[in-house]
Amino acid sequence: MIIRLLSAALAAGFIAAIVVTGLELTLTSPLILAAERYERAEPSHQAAKTLPIVLAHSGHDHSDADKAGPDRAAPEWQPGAGLPRMAFTALATLVGGVGYALLLGAVMLACGREPTARTCLAFAIAGFASVALAPGLGLPPELPGSEAAPLAARQAWWVMTAAATGMGLYLIAIRRSFIAILGGLILMIIPHMVGAPQAPAGTSELPAALAAQFASRSLAIGFVLWVMIGLGFGWAWHALARDSARGAARA
């Protein structure tokens, strides 16, 4: 059973990664690149002062390195533009897809559900609602350079919201008693009553329309990711069962 679960998760993650990586490179990567240009841009009153320094380095912008001192960390490593960045995007999507597929299969089996195509799709949509849609209502996907609350606070709220939404959906869809449905609804509402951590007051050069476009596209791609994981897991689970049955018959 464990081998079958792992194999189905690998297949589902790979199938989802192929589709979703293409969507990311087409729909969200250009927005990230545009946001990084805003993030690196200096305010207009400082640009004129720093321009001669930038040109003096033969076209290489060392402004971040120049400003890095003993009290300021050096810029974080990033993959190079072009093929390296595409490769890391695909790898991250594959790892995330396989992880979510493992979670999906484990939850279905723990709930005593046979991973049919219909069941896998239903659980996949619930997974999207738990880890993407519900947290996204308070903490929408953010572009580089966006104002944001401290990372630890955002992570804690995300975990609370995902866990509460998942448990709430379980009580509503699986238990289905009046008390369970009421408790599930309360669980799903509590994180939003508490409220997501708010970004500190400040200014951001990012246009609001760009940030909104990125958030909506990211959620849409997340939905496609989960649907592909669900469909791929259901197909792989039964394909592995058929292969096992054929092998047993031949033996």
Question: Would you say 35 and 143 are in contact if contact means Cβ atoms under 8 Å apart?
Answer: yes
The average confidence (pLDDT) of the chain is 83
For residue 94, pLDDT beyond 70: yes
Q: Give the C-alpha separation, 112 to 140, whole Å.
A: 33
What pLDDT is stored for residue 88 in this prediction? Answer: 87
For residue 202, pLDDT beyond 70: no
What proportion of the chain, given as a percentage, has pLDDT over 90? 57
Residue 190 or 148, more confident: 190
What pLDDT is stored for residue 122 in this prediction? Answer: 96
* Inter-CA distances, 190 with 41, 84, 164, Å: 40, 42, 8
pLDDT band for position 203 (cuts 50, 70, 90): low
For residue 191, pLDDT beyond 90: yes
Question: Would you say 171 and 181 are in contact if contact means Cβ atoms under 8 Å apart?
Answer: yes
For residue 115, pLDDT beyond 50: yes
Instruction: Quote the pTM value.
Output: 0.81
